[in-house]
């Protein structure tokens, strides 16, 4: 994977411990290999899972850690065997930057399920160096794990699609949630949930947003384009909506009951879990077996699906609702994300921060 060329020193914003506080950190990129692309980072989205890793909520964090896995940038150098990209092209990097390439998942274009996948940050490269993410000036990434940004897709809009976007696009394609007129519920209206509404509508689905309060109702219906809004704490309305949905995409990243939402599904309905919840969830089996309902899970998407997501959103003019901030604001943005105080995705303007100067 390495080469004899000189090492490159870059600056990023790293967490040093589980406090999660991010501050400037200078480190050395791994050497560029023949199939590697060097990307100068322009934008990077902030994902809730960044908080999980920064604060060591899964007990697997390694520090110093430069987060960020919704990376958009420009190619500045390519290895001798790179055929997919040219210097000057705009590209994206998502949640993973490596896999074994030989297992059944890799051979089936499902490298996100490879047991030896390499995370974009908080992991180790094949050469033993730590992976660091997109809150940094540059990255070195294998061309297989880089995607092309369509020319008509604004770069800042592309960033959330590399995680939040493909996280909803992949299960919709896999589970057949693409038939116009079918009824889809979106549980939780955050970064992933709002992309779920937008992409589901682009597929022609009837979309119901399900939330714990009505504070996002007007925005869900009038801005995001949802067809209906259901408050989960309103027992009467939940009862009226029983057995009305074909699918529910559950984007909630914290512990929550499943029974109220399983009851909303028609016979053969599917509840697809997308949120990373680090504790057990509970339900009673009659809600499944008496309606032949199913609970499934889905994790981001393959590299092929990631490219499809970008192309689909560019073609359908699907945009995400974002708030662009600088790296000097990143700790405040993280604090606001903890409070769910963002509509609906922070995107960091990394290039504007001039990290290497």
Q: Which residues face 37 on adjacent strands?
A: 78, 141
Whether the pLDDT of residue 334 is over 60: the answer is: yes
DSSP codes joined into one string, 60-88: ---SSB----EEEEEEEEE-TT--S--TT
Residue 22 contacts residue 331 (beta carbons within 8 Å)? yes
Whether the pLDDT of residue 60 is over 50: the answer is: yes
Q: Which residues face 184 on adjacent strands?
A: 207, 247
Provide the pLDDT for residue 276: 85
- Structure-token match 């925005």, residue found: 219
Q: Phi/psi at 260 (nearest 5 deg)?
A: -60, -30
Residue 7 pLDDT class (50, 70, 90 cuts): confident
b/e code 269-300 from CB counts within 10 Å (16+ = b): bbbbbbbeeeeeeeeeeebbeebebebeebbb
Provide the pLDDT for residue 5: 56
Provide the pLDDT for residue 20: 97
User: Looking at residues 258-287, what average pLDDT do you find?
Assistant: 94
Which candidate, 5, 228, 41, 224, places its Cα nearest to that of 121? 41
User: Looking at residues 224-238, what average pLDDT do you find?
Assistant: 97
Q: How far is CA 53 from CA 64, 308, 315, in A?
A: 11, 27, 34
Provide the pLDDT for residue 6: 59
- Structure-token match 């094949």, residue found: 126
- Tell me the chain's radius of gyration from C-alpha atoms: 20
To which H or E segment does residue 204 belong? none
Report the chain's mean pLDDT, rounded to a whole number.
Answer: 95
pLDDT in tens, 40-49: 999 999 999 9
Provide the pLDDT for residue 279: 87
pLDDT in tens, 191-207: 999 999 999 999 999 99
Provide the pLDDT for residue 357: 66
pTM of the model: 0.94
194 vs 209: CA distance, rounded Å: 9
295 vs 272: CA distance, rounded Å: 6
Cα 298 to its chain centre, rounded Å, is: 12
Residue 70 contacts residue 44 (beta carbons within 8 Å)? yes
Whether the pLDDT of residue 278 is over 90: the answer is: no
Whether the pLDDT of residue 109 is over 60: the answer is: yes
89 vs 133: CA distance, rounded Å: 20
Provide the pLDDT for residue 2: 44
pLDDT in tens, 82-101: 999 999 999 999 999 999 99
Q: Phi/psi at 157 (nearest 5 deg)?
A: -75, -25
Residue 326 pLDDT class (50, 70, 90 cuts): very high
Domains along the chain with CATH numbers? 8-163+321-349 (3.90.180.10), 165-297 (3.40.50.720)
User: Looking at residues 20-33, what average pLDDT do you find?
Assistant: 96
């Amino acid at each position: 994977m390495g080469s004899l060329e000189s090492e490159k020193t870059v600056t990023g914003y790293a967490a040093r411990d589980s406090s999660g506080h991010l501050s400037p950190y200078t480190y050395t990129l791994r050497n560029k290999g023949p199939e590697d692309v060097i990307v100068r980072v322009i934008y990077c989205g902030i994902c809730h899972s960044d908080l999980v890793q920064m604060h060591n909520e899964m007990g697997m964090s390694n520090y110093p850690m430069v987060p960020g896995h919704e990376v958009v940038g420009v190619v500045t150098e390519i290895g001798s065997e790179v055929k997919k990209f040219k210097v000057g092209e705009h590209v994206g990097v998502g949640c993973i930057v490596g896999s074994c390439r030989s297992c059944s998942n890799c051979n089936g274009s499902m490298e996100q399920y490879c047991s030896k996948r390499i995370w974009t940050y908080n992991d180790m490269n094949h050469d033993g160096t730590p992976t660091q993410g997109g809150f940094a000036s540059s990255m070195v990434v294998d061309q297989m794990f880089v995607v092309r940004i369509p020319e008509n897709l604004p770069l800042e809009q592309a960033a959330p699609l590399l995680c939040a976007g493909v996280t909803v696009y992949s299960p919709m394609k896999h589970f057949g949630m693409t038939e116009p007129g079918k009824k889809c519920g979106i549980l939780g209206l955050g970064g992933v949930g709002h992309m779920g509404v937008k992409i589901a509508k682009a597929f022609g689905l009837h979309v119901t947003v399900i939330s714990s309060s009505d504070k996002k109702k007007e925005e869900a219906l009038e801005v995001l384009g949802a067809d209906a809004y259901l408050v989960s704490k309103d027992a009467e309305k939940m009862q009226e909506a029983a057995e009305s949905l074909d699918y529910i995409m559950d984007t909630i990243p914290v512990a929550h009951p499943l029974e109220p939402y399983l009851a909303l599904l028609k016979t053969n309905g599917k509840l697809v879990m997308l949120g990373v919840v680090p504790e057990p969830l509970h339900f009673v089996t009659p809600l499944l077996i008496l309606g032949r309902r199913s609970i499934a899970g889905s994790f981001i998407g393959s590299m092929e699906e990631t490219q499809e997501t970008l192309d689909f959103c560019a073609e359908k003019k699907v945009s995400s609702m974002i708030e662009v901030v600088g790296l000097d604001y990143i700790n405040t943005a993280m604090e606001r994300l903890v409070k769910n105080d963002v509509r609906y995705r922070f995107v960091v303007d990394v290039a504007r921060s001039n990290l290497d100067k």
